[in-house]
Chain A
Amino acid sequence: MKKVTKRAFAVLLLVALVATGMGVYLFRLIRDGGDWATFYANRSVYTDGVLNRGSVSDRNGTVLAAAGEDAFHYAADSTVRRACLHVVGDLGGNIGTSILSIFRDRFIDYSFFTGTTTKGAAMKLTIDADVSAAAYNALNGRKGTVLVYNYKTGDILCMVSTPGWDPEQGINFDVNDPAYEGAFINRAISSTFTPGSVFKLVTVAAALENMPDFWQRTYTCTGSDIIGSQTIKCTGRHGTLTLEQGLACSCNVVFGHLGSELGGALISQYAEKYGLTTAHTLNKDIPTAAGSVPAAQGAGDAAWAGIGQYEDLINPYAFLRFIGAIANGGKVVEPTILYGKSCGSEQLMVPSTAQTLSEMMSYNVQYEYGASAYPGLEMHAKTGTAETYGGTHAWFAGFITNANAPLAFVVMAERAGSGYGVASPIANAVLQKAVSVLG
């Protein structure tokens, strides 16, 4: 009998299996419950396939998307709908990085504890609908992106990507139409582009920290030069320049020499250090694309890499963090898109480097771009005109130090012309609007 009764303990093995299985289930429920609950077949949150609860509004309470009694609606204003499409997303889940895709469980107010037994959440974003609409209008049909964020608080005021569509109308265009190329992705976070001259800020930072005679150096630009075996062309004949002047007039000869002297490896290393080749996550859940700055081998390639050409590819969101760090004394406040949810900060660069870069970016505006182009804005910026097949990407990245509007921005218009000619006016228009709404 004793043996038989002891063998009854074998039953406990099955008990352990039940416990293990339940543990696996609970683990998965906690991890994936939000995805399960937002599955389109869940009739407790979908009525006839349409979400029946939840709403999302901008920082001022302007509704961007909401489930109503009868139907699901987006923002009342059609420009706002288009401007906020890539942030908010649509019911069909066409924008994979949007609120309605990534945070659909929060939108319906799902939680492990309450399931879907509540009435849905009223989500609030840091986005400003009016600033976004201004950005959308300023892009004026060009493909591109405008990112604006408060480098003190992390709030993203504007994250517009074009082209898009009116979510109220649905997808009533030919998805293969070149005019709608990349309509389903948010260029601000999901794409990488050749940076061109805006990347010179990284090269300058590397030079500052690695060339003791940084301030004593001068270079002479005769319109072009041969570095390694490659001809580096410049936009003009700049004559003899200090490095500060070289950045202001964005002289390729100066930066070609800097790049080749610093070497491809060091440039790549600085890009990595400043988070430009890292895949970040926005609010812990929205993934962003990682840029790439491979270490150029020869002097010629390194020269082009230092200019922001070669194989350099940068994600606008990552560049915004970099700019935010410069603006904030080297410490980047992580951007957030969910109102009231801060995401911490990180010391991205040495404060003195940030200070110098900031001064140089101000110098750019004072002596090259002209402060009158940005009335009322305490502008620090850098232009970029990136050579690509089919045209040049127009970049303008920087920040303003207005007391009520500590904003950093990145504007990129795809194959749209020069940074100063195209991107700079867009930035001005958006920032004027932003400063006015922030008072």
Chain B
Amino acid sequence: MHLDLSGLNFDFVSLLFGQASDTLANISRYILPLLALWIVARCVRSMLRERYEPETWAYLYLAGDVMVPLRHWECILGRAKSVDGQVDDPSVERMHACLIRGPQGDWTVYNLGKGDTYVNGEHVQPGGALIQDADVLTLGRVSARFVDLTEEERSALLKYRHAPGRQVRPGATMLLLTLFQLILLLQQLTYNPDAGVGVAMGFGILAAAQWTYFTVVRTAGQTGFEPEILALFLSTVGMSVAASKTPDDMLKQIILLLAAIGLYVFMCLWIRDLKRVKSVRLYAFFAAVGLLAVTLVLAPEQNGARNWIQFGSFSIQPSELVKVLYIYAGAATLDRLFVNRNLIFYIGFSAACVGLLALMGDFGTALVFFVTFLVISYMRSGNFATVFLAVAGAVLGVMLILTIKPHVIARFQTWGHVWEDVDDRGYQQSRALSAAASGGLFGQGAGKGWFIKIVAAETDLVFAVLCEELGLITALCCVASLVVLAIFVVKNASSGRSSYFVIAASATVSMMLVQLMLNVFGATDILPFTGVTFPFVSMGGTSLLSCWMLLAFVKGSDMRANASFAVMRPEKFSGGVGVEEPDYPEDGADGYYGGGAYDGGADDGYYSGYSDDGGYPADNGYPPSGGGGRRDGGRRSRGGRR
């Protein structure tokens, strides 16, 4: 991978601009943070300010023309306020039934709890029952008419949904990003005596790659690019860090970044089909545990941890890849959430992962997994007892780690005291703070810093490099980028189709935020130094690959119209309603809904105490919600299909 270009280095910038190059670079120091702010602000505006209308997939008509829209692929019906379709009648259980839309557009109804559910008068069995347009669904003593939307109706609704990119054009943001890259390159060539052809090529290839990606995806009709632009922004900053650290090794860095973007595209396409995603989940479980176990056996111990496996001149960090597998396997569709067995299996899986990481001595990553576990398990169950037990278990685990790993204890002891031992235990952080303060708001200039020469400056202490070379504003923009991604995911959650995507996306951003905190606050002595990477920015190939792959889950949560190619468009899978056999349950190993595994689970406080009703976003921009009349017409015309 290493290509020696040092012989080719010459001063481009002086060649082009002569004496003015220093002045130019100096002025550019002030433009860089402004561009960073502008890029992030544009993404924020289009991600968080644009309107979000949920999709509507079907309706339930109750007596008296009360219409309940079904906004998700997985909907709970019942008396409780926290359900997706509320049916307020004493004969209805709090969580009575569950309606699930299959990938082919087929709907299945499952009975939850102790109540009775009927489709057209037929009792719904534990395996669920298919329900079709105009069928009568009976919950307890309440009957409702189920109305599936036709293709025409759905596309009529689609026209009223907002697509991103009109208010804030992604192409313009891409241009700003390219300008940002150009300025970084200019500074590197001016300030970094070792930067030359390799660095220029690296930035050039990055720009070419991002525009190719943009052109292809834009041509395919997708208009949402904010997650990619933020990730590209962070990766660009990472490229500058790489150019400062190893300017002669840029080719390796750019190839890794291209591979990462390629894997991202693959993941986005892969998760379009939820059925496909679910079909290999079990393999992901085993791959995750297997990879960690193999690492534990094969990796040599370095600095008290064994997390690197060497392949010739190439080394990988399997725990980074396991992050993707962990979320892939840990997120779950709503139907699975009702089976305690699945949750127990998941806790076991998590314990295995965290335990193996602890054995490897990778305390930082173990902590990242643990917090991600908390988020996923909270979202999956909401059962505080379970979470509490897990916390207790983990606390014991942490104590165990502390007793067996002296270097972890030492880091905790140094915490908050780095200025008392600046040349030994506080060596890295004291220098990190000093360099960070030196950068001021605008930085010394990319490639001009001294801190990058410190061990781990390009990974665990990278925040100080950002502050020193690019300035506090740009560094804060990097932090903000990840925060914005997280808020974006929270905002998307309300319109999510399947809980799988909501959970996966939430887990992804949680994992990134925890890494961000451990990295930034560890380097600045606000938290103990744990040595984890800054997502997208820290150098390190495996980490970059995993961040981009994880980004696919964020992309998969974006339900704005035509926003995300990780989300299949509704019109693409509207055919063949009801003709195929139901796919649920396809995964016999888990046996959900089978054998009454759910009996008695729903009503005993599982959901109690969760009755606040925030409601949905207002249906602004929707066509008038029709009346019974229009619906009746539709029913007749489609009746023949059955």
Give A contacts to B, CB under 8 Å.
1-12, 14-15, 17-19, 21-22, 24-25, 28-29, 33-34, 36-37, 39, 41-45, 110-117
A24 to B75, CA, bound (A): 42
State A117–B25 Cα separation when bound (angstroms): 13
A34's closest neighbor in chain B, by CB? B437
- Given known contacts A18-B516, A44-B450, A115-B440, A2 and B509 CB-to-CB distance under 8 angstroms: no
When A7-B382, A15-B483 are in contact, do A21 and B517 touch as well, CB less than 8 Å? Answer: yes
Does B41 make an interface contact (CB < 8 A)?
no
B141, chain A: closest CB distance, angstroms: 24
Also in contact, A42 and B84, with CB within 8 A (given A14-B510, A17-B517): no
Contact yes or no, B379 A8, CB < 8 A: yes
Contact B84 A2 (CB under 8 A): yes
Residue of B nearest to A8 (CB): B493
Checking B75, B334, B375, B382 against A11 with a beta-carbon cut-off of 8 angstroms, the contacting residue is B375
Kindly list the 6 A-B residue pairs having the minimum CB-CB distance in the complex, ordered from nearest: A115-B440, A8-B493, A43-B450, A36-B437, A5-B493, A33-B437
Is the Cβ of B438 less than 8 Å from the Cβ of A8? no
- How far apart sit A12 and B476, CA to CA, in the bound complex (Å)? 18
Shortest distance between the CB of A17 and any CB in chain B (Å):
6
Closest residue of chain B to A41 (Cβ to Cβ) is B431
B438: contacting residue among A3, A17, A115, CB under 8 A: A115
- Binding stretch for chain A, among B182-190, B238-246, B495-503: B495-503
Does any Cβ of A come within 8 Å of B129's Cβ? no
Answer whether A36 and B433 are a contact pair too, CB < 8 Å, given A6-B614, A24-B526, A44-B438.
Answer: yes
Is the contact region of chain B dominated by helix, strand, or loop, or is it mixed? helix
- Contacts A11-B506, A44-B444, A45-B438; is A21 near B526 (CB within 8 Å)? yes
Contact A3 B493 (CB under 8 A): no
Instruction: Note all chain A residues with C-beta closer than 8 A to B486.
Output: 11-12, 14-15
Cβ–Cβ contact B379 & A25, under 8 A: no
Give the contacting residue for B434; candidates A15, A25, A36; CB below 8 A.
Answer: A36
Contact of B490 among A1, A4, A11 (CB under 8 A): A11
Q: Is A12 within 8 A of B490, CB to CB?
A: yes
Residue of B76, B482, B517 touching A1 (CB-CB under 8 A): B76
Assess whether B521 is interfacial by the CB under 8 Å rule: yes
Let me know if A5 and B502 touch, CB within 8 A.
yes
**Alpha-carbon distance A117/B379, docked complex (angstroms):** 47
Identify which of A12, A21, A116 contacts B440 (C-beta below 8 A): A116
Known contacts A1-B334, A37-B437, A41-B431; is A11 also within 8 Å of B509 by CB?
A: yes
Contact between B82 and A2 (Cβ–Cβ < 8 Å)? yes
The reply to whether B76 and A115 form a contact with Cβ atoms under 8 Å apart is no
Name B332-390 residues within 8 Å CB distance of A.
334, 337, 371, 375, 378-379, 382
Q: Known A-B contacts: A21-B526, A24-B526, A115-B471. Give 16 more (CB < 8 A).
A: A1-B496, A2-B76, A4-B337, A4-B503, A10-B510, A11-B486, A11-B490, A12-B490, A14-B514, A18-B516, A21-B517, A25-B520, A37-B437, A41-B434, A116-B438, A117-B440
Closest to A19 in B: B483
Give the Cβ gap from B520 to chain A, nearest Cβ, in Å: 7
Chain A nearest CB from B240 CB (Å) reads 17
Query: Does B108 lie at the interface of the complex (its beta carbon under 8 Å from any beta carbon of A)?
Result: no
Instruction: With both chains docked as a complex, state the minimum distance between the C-beta of A75 and any C-beta of chain B, in angstroms.
Output: 28
Cβ contacts under 8 Å, A5 to chain B: 493-494, 496, 499, 502
Residue of B nearest to A115 (CB): B440
Q: Are A3 and B430 in contact (CB under 8 A)?
A: no
Q: Which residues of B contact A1 (CB under 8 A)?
A: 71-72, 74-76, 84, 334, 496, 499, 502
B336 to A: closest C-beta gap in Å: 12
Name the prevailing secondary structure of the A interface residues: helix
The residue among A17, A25, A33, A42 with the most chain B CB atoms within 10 A of its own CB is A25
Please tell me if the beta carbons of A25 and B524 are within 8 angstroms of each other in the complex.
yes
Q: How far is the CB of B454 from chain A (nearest CB, A)?
A: 9
Q: Is the CB of A7 within 8 A of B437?
A: no
Q: Which residues of A contact B119 (CB under 8 A)?
A: none
Q: Mark B464-479, 1 if CB is under 8 A from A, else 0.
A: 0000100110001001
A115 to B513, CA, bound (A): 27
> Given A5-B502, A8-B506, are A110 and B513 neighbors across the interface (CB < 8 Å)?
no
- The answer to whether the Cβ of B544 comes within 8 Å of any Cβ in the partner chain is no
Tell me, in angstroms, the Cα distance from A85 to B118 when the chains sit together. Answer: 95
**Of B433, B479, B494, the contact of A22 (CB 8 Å cutoff):** B479
Closest A residue to B432 by beta carbon equals A36
Taking CB atoms, residues of chain B closer than 8 Å to A12 are 486-487, 490
Interchain nearest-CB distance for B489 vs A (Å): 6
Least Cβ–Cβ distance between A231 and chain B, in angstroms: 53
The residue of chain A having its C-beta at the shortest distance from the C-beta of B98 within the complex is A1
- Total interface residues on B, CB under 8 Å, equals 67
Partner of A2, one of B83, B442, B468, B476: B83
**Could you say which residues of chain A place their CB within 8 Å of the CB of B506?**
7-8, 10-11
Determine how close the nearest CB of chain A comes to the CB of B273; give it in whole angstroms.
19
A12 CA to B482 CA in the complex, in Å? 12
The answer to the question of B436 belonging to the interface, with a C-beta cut-off of 8 Å to chain A, is yes
- Report the minimal beta-carbon distance from A24 to chain B, rounded to whole angstroms: 5
Nearest residue, chain B, Cβ from A39: B434
Cα separation A226 to B444 with both chains bound (whole Å): 74
| Chain A residue at minimum C-beta to C-beta distance from B505 | A8
What are the residues of chain A within 8 A of B440 when measuring CB–CB? 111-117
A41 to chain B, nearest CB (A): 5
What residue of chain B has the Cβ atom nearest to residue A37's Cβ? B437
Picked from A111, A113, A115, the residue with its CB within 8 Å of the CB of B444 is A115
Chain A CB within 10 Å — which of B83, B442, B468, B521 has the most?
B521
* Residues B378 and A115 in contact, CB atoms below 8 Å apart: no
Q: Residues of B contacting A33 with CB < 8 Å?
A: 437
Alpha-carbon distance A19/B486, docked complex (angstroms): 13
B211 is an interface residue with CB less than 8 A from chain A: no
Chain A residues near B447: list those with CB within 8 A.
none
Please give the distance in Å from B519's CB to the nearest CB on chain A: 11
Complex Cα–Cα for A115 and B503 (A): 42
Residues on A with C-beta less than 8 A from B524 are: 25, 28
Say yes or no: is B266 at the interface (Cβ < 8 Å to chain A): no
Q: A3-B82, A6-B614 are in contact. Are A21 and B513 (CB under 8 A)?
A: no
Q: Assuming the A-B contacts A1-B84, A21-B521, A115-B441, are A29 and B436 also in contact, with contact meaning beta carbons closer than 8 angstroms in the complex?
A: yes
B527: min CB distance to chain A, Å: 7
A11 contacts across to B, CB distance below 8 A: 375, 486, 489-490, 506, 509-510, 513
Chain A hits for B29, CB < 8 A: 117
A43 and B503 CA atoms in complex are apart in Å by 46
Closest to B479 in A: A22
Do the beta carbons of A22 and B437 come within 8 Å of each other?
no
Contact A14:B513 (CB < 8 A) given known A4-B334, A5-B493: yes
Give Cα A249 to B437, complex, Å.
59
Across-interface contacts of B494 in A (CB, < 8 A): 5
- Cβ B479 vs Cβ A18 within 8 A: yes
A240 to chain B, nearest CB (A): 64
A22 to B449, CA, bound (A): 22
Q: Quick one: which of A21, A43, A111 contacts B527, CB cutoff 8 A? A: A21
B108 to chain A, nearest CB (A): 15
Question: How far apart sit A111 and B438, CA to CA, in the bound complex (Å)?
Answer: 9
How far does the alpha carbon of A140 sit from the alpha carbon of B527 in the complex, in Å? 55
B254 within 8 A of A: no
Contact (A18, B84) CB under 8 Å given A8-B502, A10-B378, A112-B440: no
- B435 sits at the interface (CB 8 A): yes
With CB as the reference atom, state the residue of chain A lying closest to B70: A1
Given contacts A3-B82, A39-B430, contact A18 B517 (CB under 8 A): yes
Contact A10 B375 (CB under 8 A): yes
Query: B100-117: contact bitstring with A at CB < 8 Å (1 yes, 0 no)?
Result: 000000000000000000
Complex CA–CA separation, A24 to B524 (angstroms): 10
* Chain A to chain B contacts (Cβ below 8 Å), 25 pairs: A2-B76, A2-B83, A4-B337, A4-B493, A6-B82, A6-B614, A9-B493, A10-B375, A10-B510, A11-B506, A17-B517, A18-B479, A21-B526, A28-B524, A28-B526, A34-B437, A36-B433, A37-B437, A39-B433, A42-B431, A42-B438, A44-B450, A116-B438, A116-B444, A117-B444
